[in-house]
């Protein structure tokens, strides 16, 4: 695979995908600074193919993680072009120094983890964050809330005003969500007009209050889509708490939140619906996960 661009512009919407293919980064490596010495980089099969034209090393390579390629296989010119096309302000330090390379690694991982239109976390980042939160809740018993949101009647916006206006609406909603939550919360765009928010350590007593604050923040600010023209935007919100001290799965947690989102839509939209209790009934699958490795398995 040839990752050179031959001078052709790279559309921002494709930048994250190209960053993964051409430089070997995968968003699952969410903390690049913790990868260890900069001798090796995580990669995809496509990136290994892209690096196949690198001259063989003059000395035996040290042991490296499976699925990695030498750092020398990174194509800095391609990586820099990707960052420039995405609007990155530039890298600190002397080019090709350790600090500069680490900054390049960090910037590429960040690029491959974000939604190109909104700058929010993308679906891969969201799923990784969800898995980490499930593990934390199962170990600590602390509460966590998952919210799913849909922009109401979004198809009508696209059909009436065009897709460019639809993009403006999505960006405006994304900004409103990011401005309303805490720094520790993760806001992600997971679909066309669908967003998800992971709120760690959010007690049940505050769940509805948080969801309502988000809904009201979106509803009270019309979105300007053209000079002198604006549209009113609302969202429907569904929410579910992760069962404490129980190792659930991302699919079960998302299904519970989606069920509440469906209820909010069926009851008229522009409203919030959360599970009535912070500790829902444990499903058969969650019960199996709970007792799978336990000495009490016979009692399951």
Q: How far apart are the first and last CA of the chain?
A: 52
Separation between Cα atoms, residue 47 and residue 41, nearest integer Å: 10
Separation between Cα atoms, residue 7 and residue 9, nearest integer Å: 6
**DSSP state for residue 59 in the 8-state scheme:** S
| Residue 61 known to be catalytic | no
Q: Which of 193, 194, 275, 286 is catalytic?
A: 193
Token readout for 109 is 């991982």
DSSP codes joined into one string, 237-289: EEEEEPPTTS---HHHHHHHHHHHHHHHHHTTSSSEEE-SSSSPPPPHHHHHH
β-strand partners of 197: 147, 187
Closest CA to 244 of 206, 204, 216: 204
Which residues are identified as catalytic? Answer: 193
């Amino acid at each position: 695979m040839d990752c050179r661009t031959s001078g052709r512009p790279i559309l921002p919407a494709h930048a994250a995908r190209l960053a993964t293919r051409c430089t070997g980064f995968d968003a699952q490596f969410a903390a690049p600074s913790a990868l260890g010495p900069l001798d090796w980089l995580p990669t995809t099969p496509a990136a290994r193919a892209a690096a196949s034209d690198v001259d063989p090393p003059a000395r035996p390579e040290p042991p490296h993680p499976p699925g990695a390629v030498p750092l020398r296989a990174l194509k800095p010119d391609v990586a820099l072009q990707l960052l420039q096309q995405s609007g990155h302000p530039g890298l600190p330090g002397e080019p090709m120094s350790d600090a500069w390379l680490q900054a390049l690694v960090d910037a590429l991982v960040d690029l491959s983890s974000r939604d190109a239109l909104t700058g929010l976390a993308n679906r891969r980042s969201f799923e990784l964050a969800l898995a980490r939160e499930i593990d934390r809740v199962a170990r600590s018993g602390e509460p966590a809330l998952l919210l799913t949101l849909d922009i109401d009647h979004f198809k009508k916006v696209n059909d009436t005003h065009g897709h460019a206006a639809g993009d403006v609406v999505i960006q405006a909603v994304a900004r409103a969500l990011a401005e309303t939550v805490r720094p520790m919360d993760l806001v992600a765009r997971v679909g066309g007009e669908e967003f998800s928010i992971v709120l760690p350590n959010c007690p049940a007593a505050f769940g509805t209050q948080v969801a309502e604050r988000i809904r009201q923040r979106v509803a009270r600010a019309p979105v300007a889509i053209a000079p002198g023209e604006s549209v009113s935007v609302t969202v429907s919100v569904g929410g579910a708490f992760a069962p404490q001290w129980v190792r659930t799965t991302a699919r079960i947690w998302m299904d519970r939140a989606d069920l509440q989102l469906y209820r909010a839509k069926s009851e008229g939209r522009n409203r919030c619906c959360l599970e009535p209790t912070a500790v829902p009934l444990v499903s058969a699958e969650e019960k199996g996960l709970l007792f799978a490795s336990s000495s009490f398995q016979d009692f399951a």
